[in-house]
Amino acid sequence: MVAWYDTAVLAVHLIGVSIWVGGSVALGVIVFALRSTDPADARTSALLTARVARGLAWVMWPALVATILTGLYNLTWFLPPGTPLTATPAGPWFIAKFAMVAVVVATAGAHTFVVAPSLRRARERGVLESSLTAAKGWSVRLAVLSTIASVVVVVLAVGAVGAGP
């Protein structure tokens, strides 16, 4: 039987996943909508996008950290005591999930803490948008990869639960 606190931790885990994945998808839709409105006003679109992204980051990053921590805890009741992860039918699913979580953290982290701030600093210095093409391309690629990897993590989690302990 699962204790009440295990259920509470699982609920926090699922809420964190919802915030992270939902925020990533919503941000992608917002960015697409802003950038397709007026190509001549790329600077304003970029500034609005950055402002929205920074606002969401205050919710999304803590949600991701909570998701990772609660996910690790959830393994303690999902796996039979003393059973190595690799000895269970769900093991390969969880291992793939952990790898995808690493991809999410790496790509989202590079986007949020490296590429986006460097773009912001360049814009603050008055660098023309046309000369930021390469950095903007990296920003988009990292954000898209992170979002796709986040969705794949959810799919792998469903596979792991379906495979059972």
Select the more confidently predicted residue: 65 or 50.
65
Distance CA 45, CA 150 (A): 25
Is the pLDDT score of 39 beyond 80? Answer: no
Count of CB atoms within 10 A of residue 164's CB?
Answer: 9
Rounded to the nearest 10 degrees, the angle between the axes of helix 133-163 and helix 116-124 is: 160
Q: What is the pLDDT of residue 15?
A: 97
Q: What is the pLDDT of residue 37?
A: 67
For residue 162, give every residue at least 6 positions away whose Cβ sits within 8 Å of its Cβ, in sequence order, or none.
Answer: none
Q: Which domain holds residue 136?
A: 4-163
Q: What is the pLDDT of residue 71?
A: 94
Q: What is the pLDDT of residue 11?
A: 95
Is the pLDDT score of 36 beyond 80? Answer: no
Count of CB atoms within 10 A of residue 12's CB?
Answer: 17
Structure confidence by residue, pLDDT tens digits, 55-80: 999 999 999 999 999 999 988 877 77
Whole-prediction pTM: 0.87
Q: Phi-psi category of 127—alpha, beta or left, where left has phi over 0 and alpha has psi -120 to 50? A: beta
Select the more confidently predicted residue: 50 or 68.
68
Number of separate domains in the chain: 1
Distance CA 60, CA 52 (A): 12
Is the pLDDT score of 107 beyond 90? Answer: yes
